[in-house]
Structure formats: structure tokens, C-alpha cells
Amino acid sequence: MELFQAKDHYILQQGERALWCSRRDGGLQLRPATDLLLAWNPICLGLVEGVIGKIQLHSEDSNWGHVYSAYLLCLCVLAHCRAIQKYSVPRC
């Protein structure tokens, strides 16, 4: 999936769909991919494998943030072509 950063949203786009994640309140919206044209100055940050979740640091007063996985490691492949994969977050 491609990850875009706009003024008010992070946007994950794959195919004809896009998941808009609010940078203000963490709300999520599923929209058509063509809505990317409506975003304020979107910048492509690169490719990600998926969304891990939302976290809130320290206290209830801090803002919620989204965690994205940029790395996917295939651990093994089982019968019937089922892959066991591990998502990881890059170290800073």
C-alpha cells in the first residue's frame, strides 16, 4: 500500500480504495482512491505493508497516533501455500 501524508490525514491507498486516518482525532474513513485528489498537498511517504494499530503515549492527555509496518518478513510457507509472516516496525 502507498502511504500519503496530507495536512489533516494520513492516507493508505491500494487499488481503488483508500483508508483516510485523521491526524487530529485518529478517526478512520474508507473512501475511493480518487478522493486523493481532494487531499491538501499529499506527499507520498512510501510503501507500507499494513496498519498495526493506534497507540497513546504516557497519559490520557496525549494524542493517539497510528503505527504502520514498513517491513514484512516471510518466516515460512505451510501446505496449500499459506505463508506465515512477521510484521516489524523499523528501529529509529
pLDDT tens digit sequence for 2-42 = 889 899 998 989 999 998 988 888 788 999 999 999 999 99
CB 50 within 8 A of CB 27: no
Residues of the chain with pLDDT > 70: what percent? 52
Higher local confidence (pLDDT), 10 or 53: 10
The contacts of residue 70 (CB under 8 Å, 6+ apart) are 46, 47, 48, 49, 89, 90
Give the mean pLDDT of 73-86: 65
- Number of domains comprising the chain: 1
Phi, psi of 34 (to 5 degrees): -65, -20
Predicted confidence at residue 31, as pLDDT, reads 95
User: What does the mean pLDDT of the chain come to?
Assistant: 75
* pLDDT(79) > 90: no
Which structural domain range is residue 77 located in? Answer: 2-88
What is the distance, to the nearest Å, from the Cα of residue 87 to the centroid of all Cα atoms in its chain? 13
Residue among 92, 71, 72 at smallest CA distance from 84: 72
